Amino acid sequence: MILSMTGYGKASAEFEGKKITAEIKSLNSKALDLQTRIAPVYREKEMELRAMISVELERGKVDFSLYIERDDSGAAVPMNRQVIKSYVEQIRAISTELGLHDPGEHWFPTLLRLPDVLTKTETVELSDEEWQVASGVARLAVERLMDFRRQEGAALERKFHEKVDNIEALLAQIEPFEQARVEKIRARIVDGLNSIPEVQVDRNRLEQEMIYYIEKLDINEEKQRLKNHLDYFRKTMADGHGQGKKLGFIAQEMGREINTTGSKSNIAEMQNLVVRMKDELEQIKEQVLNVM
């Protein structure tokens, strides 16, 4: 089964009063483009996380986040006593030096707004137990993204089969018009010559020129190559993931054969069928960009 490059995964776990969450999403890209946002306590493990994600995801524009949420609703934010003491001493010294009135107890609202007075400390040491939980959360998020990619890939595969079948059906509808076209061309040339009675026609040469002209408009080779490309596209999808680029190349070759068929189609009915084939192929090309 083919895989989509589009996906999303999220996982969380509790550890010693905090919630560890990993979130990852991916979009299509020619190579792996990985952006990470990691909580400071886990920053030392970034290369390990990158290696794990790179092996699992292979391609895509990937955004990965690993963060912590705490329940601090009942915890008071501690005050930095040394900083407050230093501010008080400086304010008193300036008041004495400039002869200003000591603000006394009224200065506390201003004092509490000064930089670094209120501090929030947290442990920066990463224990093996916490990392085991955090890395498990990261892996679970990646697994869920891969499940999403599989589901999207299955939907893409069904869509591709539908579009390839449609192109094949439209190609089969060309054949009756193609056979009638040859007779119309022959009749039009003969009628044109007969309308000029004074012109002497070498019938053998006329037949040779008509054969040459009709052969130039023959599309049997294009039809056969297009059928081969359609079969190869189906076979490549069955080979599984990692075939996105190859499917893109096959779609390009399908486009060449359809375009050549269109350039040789000199009657409206055939050209209409070619336009419909192009529309089906364009939808394949748009979606094949999302395939791994």
Tally the domains of the chain.
Answer: 3
Distance between CA atoms of residues 282 and 292, nearest Å: 19
pLDDT mean over 239-268: 89
13 and 145 housed in the same domain:
yes
Residues 19 and 98 in one domain: no
User: Would you state the torsion angle of the CA atoms of residues 277, 281, 282, 284, taken in this order, to the nearest 10 degrees?
Assistant: 150
**Chain segment 167-219, per-residue pLDDT in tens:** 999 999 988 887 777 677 777 777 766 777 666 666 677 666 666 666 677 78
Q: Which domain holds residue 247?
A: 153-288
Contact 182, 218 (CB under 8 A): no
Q: Are residues 146 and 163 in the same domain?
A: no
Q: What is the mean pLDDT of the chain?
A: 85
Q: Does 223 lie in the same domain as 132?
A: no
User: Are 184 and 92 within one domain?
Assistant: no
The answer to whether position 116 is within a domain reads no
> What is the rounded average pLDDT of the residues 9-20?
92
> What is the band of 24 on the pLDDT scale with cuts at 50, 70, 90?
very high
The pLDDT value recorded for residue 213 is: 65
Which one-letter amino acid corresponds to residue 281?
A: L
Per residue in 207-228, pLDDT (tens digit) is: 666 666 666 777 888 999 999 9
